[in-house]
Structure 1
Amino acid sequence: MQRIILYLIFMTGALSAKAQVQGQVIKVLTYNIHHAENMNGKLDIQGIATVILATNPDLVALQEVDSATLRIGKSDILRELADATGMYIYFGKAMDFDGGGYGNGVLSRYPIQSAYTLALPSKGKEGEPRSAAIVTVQLPGDSLLRFASAHLDHTEDPADRLSQVQLILQQLHRSPVPLVIAGDFNALPPSKEIVQLKAHFTDATEKLGPTWPSDKPTQKLDYILLSGKGRWHVSTAAVVEETIASDHRPVIAELMLK
């Protein structure tokens, strides 16, 4: 956790730049948590909670979340994270799995006004059902923000990912309220999938390096995207150098909603 402490010092150094822009400060974390199985092959929900508590986000997009599956001893990962952090939660199930559910999760410091799960198309033989968990939260001052946690197809063939991107664009990019969509998109920055998304969203993580695998990352797969051009200022963004809690590194951005 020493590297997380160094990260916090880095984020504190951004205060002077943040003061130059007026608006609502929102800190967003995205994290593929590998059903809370750490790099030592052990179930460690507390390890994920420690990362969240150390980075202190307002909104968290989680991918590969198990709910009451046998492989995690019927635990409820999101409920345990809520107990540890005091945050509101929403689980967007992508599929039934191992006696429970598997999908994406959202944690929020803000009250969740509404929520739904968007099923993403999956036709490839080697793929699996994927989804986006989408919530509308109430910010201080009663303004609203939409926040989505998405996990796109992982196979080498990009066909399903491209279909999933098209549905996301149809459903979300013209949101009447500001929107943040974050997650594991399983695609590199030059890919068609990411290029299409960035034609409509601002990439808060554009300058960041690789996020997977967590011990020695070589590929950037995790992103935080913003909809509502002219509404956002990216104060800081970083890949958190956490190497044990999951096979992905978490990504965090401090944003200003103007």
Structure 2
Amino acid sequence: MYRIVFLFVLTLAASTPAFAQVQGQVIKVLSYNIHHGENMQGKLDIQGIATVILAVNPDLVALQEVDSSTSRVNKADQLKELAAITGMYVYFGKAMEYDGGGFGNGILSRYPIEKTQSIALPAKGEGSEPRNAAMVTVKLPGDSLLRFVSAHLDHLDDPADRLAQVNIILQHTLAQPAVPLIVAGDMNALPASKEIGILKQHFTDATEKLGPTWPADKPEQKIDYVFLYNKTHWHVMSSQVLEETVASDHRPVIAEVLLK
């Protein structure tokens, strides 16, 4: 999806109002923890996830809890299946070996993927599991570049691992401030948490005004986000939590943003 829009911003002059024209590209971003394709009825249904994605027609999709060829999903390559259905480019960042296959984060993109990287995130807490952030660099129309990250942070009550994971993500992403960046995913942290506070020191939270995202049937906690960097590159046009209660145990979040 490639759209150029013009924003007209009212500015105050000494006597009469003037309109400043801002040109940019609209990008629709979806973040979705898909619970390895298992829906709220306990059934594997990757088609249900695909249906959600197709319904909103995003440009970039950050997926968490994705299985690749594990026994629990009958050896299916879930990202390849989603790519085949949606017609999007795909990247899988494996966080760990699991059940005869892999488990991690995925990315779907309307734009060609130029570079890929799987960023290992520290997990030292008792009961923690390996986590990662999948990062791609995509080529936008006009040959400009955009970095996009799908992240899944630690789930434990103790925030120590999440704080360390946030710092690793910052180390890997903020070194190229000239290249626009989107970080989306399941942060397993509430808006008032220290982890989110650190991210918001550097990023614009495109989902700041949204309500809870988990659990899907009766959401009580907001733990899914879309963050934008560098702040001067972006304008948030709209965002929402999709009222999807069955396909996964998380509700997906979507943000429509303007890259200036």
Tell me the TM-score normalized by structure 1.
0.92
Aligned residue type for 1:256:
L
2:173 aligns to what? 172
How far, CA to CA, are the matches of 1:18 and 1:94 in structure 2? Answer: 40
2:46 aligns to what? 45
Structural mapping, 1:26-175, within 5 Å: 26-175=27-176
- Structure 2 residue runs of 5 or longer lacking an equivalent are 9-21
Q: 2:227 aligns with which of 225, 229, 235?
A: 225
Number of residues of Structure 1 aligned to a counterpart in Structure 2: 243
Q: Structure 1 residue 19: deviation in Å? A: 4.8
1:243 aligns to what? 245
Which has the greater radius of gyration?
2
Q: Secondary structure at the match of 2:198?
A: helix
Structure 1 or 2: larger helix share? 1
1:7 aligns to what? none
Q: Structure 1 residue 18: deviation in Å? A: 6.9
Percent sequence identity is 70
Aligned residue type for 2:118:
T
Deviations 1:175-201 (Å, cap 9, x if unpaired)?
Answer: 230000000000000000000010011
Structure 1 or 2: larger strand share? 2
Q: Structure 1 residue 170: deviation in Å? A: 1.3
How big is the alpha-carbon RMSD for the aligned residues of Structure 1 and Structure 2?
A: 1.3
Deviations 1:3-46 (Å, cap 9, x if unpaired)?
Answer: xxxxxxxxxxxx9x975452011000000000000000000000
Contact 1:173 1:201 in 2 (8 A): no
Q: Secondary structure at the match of 1:134?
A: strand
How far, CA to CA, are the matches of 1:155 and 1:173 in structure 2? Answer: 26
- Structure 1 residue runs of 5 or longer lacking an equivalent are 1-14
Q: Secondary structure at the match of 1:78?
A: helix
Contact 1:95 1:129 in 2 (8 A): yes
Deviations 1:51-104 (Å, cap 9, x if unpaired)?
Answer: 000010000000000000000000010000000000000000000000000000
Contact 2:6 2:24 in 1 (8 A): no
Q: Structure 1 residue 153: deviation in Å? A: 0.1
Q: Secondary structure at the match of 1:23?
A: strand
1:214 aligns to what? 216
Q: Structure 1 residue 169: deviation in Å? A: 1.2
Tell me the TM-score normalized by structure 2.
0.92
How far, CA to CA, are the matches of 1:114 and 1:173 in structure 2? Answer: 17
2:203 aligns to what? 201
Higher mean alpha-carbon deviation, 202-211 vs 172-181, is at: 172-181
